[in-house]
């Protein structure tokens, strides 16, 4: 009976303990380190511990150790799927080639950072830190610090490239080669850019910083240059070009013009001959019908008839 009471009491005590458990190896890890903060290092350095598990982890008897084998005792807890930021009362982390280790209550090493340096331009510290991204991964990157919060990807600022080109000549004859040059195009971020030429006549697009093209027909065309930077931002610019008929076309036109003129002349001559023939025949008819001599003969005949 006495033993049963002891067991029952023990069970009651167990039920009263908050739902916590002691982490095994690797349950928590060092997620972010600020070796060289803005201002004084003393009191401003920090380390973020991350608990990716589903249960809180009590940090009693856990400790950190720096590259110089100095220990720093931890306390409190890291909530499930949460973060804890640890600060130090005095300078604890070297700015250069620092390695930080995390031990559990059994003195077992459960995490260790790679050697990291946070000394931008060999000057004063900044708000950037070494952090795992995504949280808990093996990839460490130096970017803006996120103390006590999830580690974010670096915000990349990107600007549109600017398309610009020259062409030579600015007008041409059909068949003549046009050369374009997009060397004036640029990207404000210094990104590499690619170039695409649309010649405006239905021919396949071409690429490259320069282009050459020849048009087969005389008319106006629009040349379209599209530039694209490494992150896919684009800019477009266009130029109009006048293509005139080629010399060969002109010769063809001349010969056809000559032919047309020749045909016209023949038609005119034939027409003139018809007119002349018509006038000549009309004149001849008029002479016959209106001859004074004939009229006189007719009158004489009439007179003779009267006398008789």
Binding site for Ca ion (CB under 5 A): 32, 35-36, 41, 48, 93, 95, 118, 125-126, 128, 146, 151, 158-159, 187, 189, 191, 229
Is 187 or 196 the residue whose CB approaches Ca ion more closely? 187
Smallest gap from residue 197 Cβ to Ca ion (A): 20
Is 130 or 199 the residue whose CB approaches Ca ion more closely? 130
Q: Are strands 101-103 and 177-181 parallel, antiparallel or unpaired?
A: unpaired
Smallest gap from residue 122 Cβ to Ca ion (A): 13
Is 46 or 62 the residue whose CB approaches Ca ion more closely? 46
Smallest gap from residue 7 Cβ to Ca ion (A): 45
Which of 94, 54, 49 is CA-nearest to residue 75? Answer: 49
Smallest gap from residue 92 Cβ to Ca ion (A): 8
Cα separation, 9 vs 15, whole angstroms: 10
Q: What's the distance, Cα to Cα, between the start and end of the chain in Å?
A: 193
- Locate the DSSP E strands across 135-291: 140-144, 166-168, 171-173, 177-181, 193-198, 206-207, 210-214, 220-229, 234-244
Residue 193 CA, distance from chain mean position: 9
Is 38 or 257 the residue whose CB approaches Ca ion more closely? 38
Which of 139, 55, 46 is CA-nearest to residue 93? Answer: 46
Cα separation, 130 vs 307, whole angstroms: 152
Is 111 or 118 the residue whose CB approaches Ca ion more closely? 118
Nearest residue to Ca ion by CB is 146
Cα separation, 93 vs 293, whole angstroms: 146
Is 129 or 246 the residue whose CB approaches Ca ion more closely? 129
Q: Tell me the CA distances in angstroms from 232 to 60, 105, 159, 229, one per residue in order.
A: 51, 51, 10, 5
Smallest gap from residue 96 Cβ to Ca ion (A): 9
Element (H, E) at 131: strand 128-132
Smallest gap from residue 254 Cβ to Ca ion (A): 54
């Amino acid at each position: 009976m006495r033993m049963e009471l002891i067991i029952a009491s023990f069970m009651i005590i167990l039920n009263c303990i908050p739902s916590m458990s002691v982490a095994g190896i690797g349950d928590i890890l060092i997620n972010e380190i600020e070796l060289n903060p803005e201002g004084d290092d003393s009191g401003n350095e920090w380390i973020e511990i991350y608990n990716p598990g589903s249960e809180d982890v009590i940090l009693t008897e856990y400790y950190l150790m720096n590259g110089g084998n100095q220990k720093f005792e931890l306390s409190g807890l890291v909530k499930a799927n949460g973060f804890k930021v640890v600060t130090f009362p005095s300078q604890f982390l070297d700015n250069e080639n620092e390695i930080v280790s995390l031990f559990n209550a059994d003195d077992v090493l459960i995490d260790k950072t790679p050697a990291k340096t946070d000394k931008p331009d060999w000057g004063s510290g900044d708000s950037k830190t070494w952090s795992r991204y995504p949280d808990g991964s093996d990839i460490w990157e130096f970017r803006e610090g996120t103390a006590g919060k999830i580690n974010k990807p670096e915000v990349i600022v990107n600007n549109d490239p600017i398309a610009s080109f020259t062409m030579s000549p600015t007008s041409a004859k059909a068949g003549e080669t046009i050369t374009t040059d997009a060397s004036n195009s640029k990207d404000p971020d210094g990104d590499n850019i690619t170039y695409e030429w649309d010649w405006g006549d239905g021919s396949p697009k071409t690429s490259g910083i320069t282009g050459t093209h020849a048009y087969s027909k005389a008319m106006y065309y629009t040349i379209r240059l599209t530039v694209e930077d490494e992150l896919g931002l684009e800019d477009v610019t266009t130029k109009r070009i006048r293509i005139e008929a080629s010399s060969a076309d002109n010769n063809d036109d001349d010969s056809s013009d000559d032919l047309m003129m020749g045909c016209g002349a023949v038609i005119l001559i034939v027409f003139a001959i018809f007119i002349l023939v018509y006038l000549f025949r009309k004149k001849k008819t008029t002479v016959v019908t209106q001859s004074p001599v004939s009229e006189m003969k007719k009158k004489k005949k009439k007179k003779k008839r009267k006398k008789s």
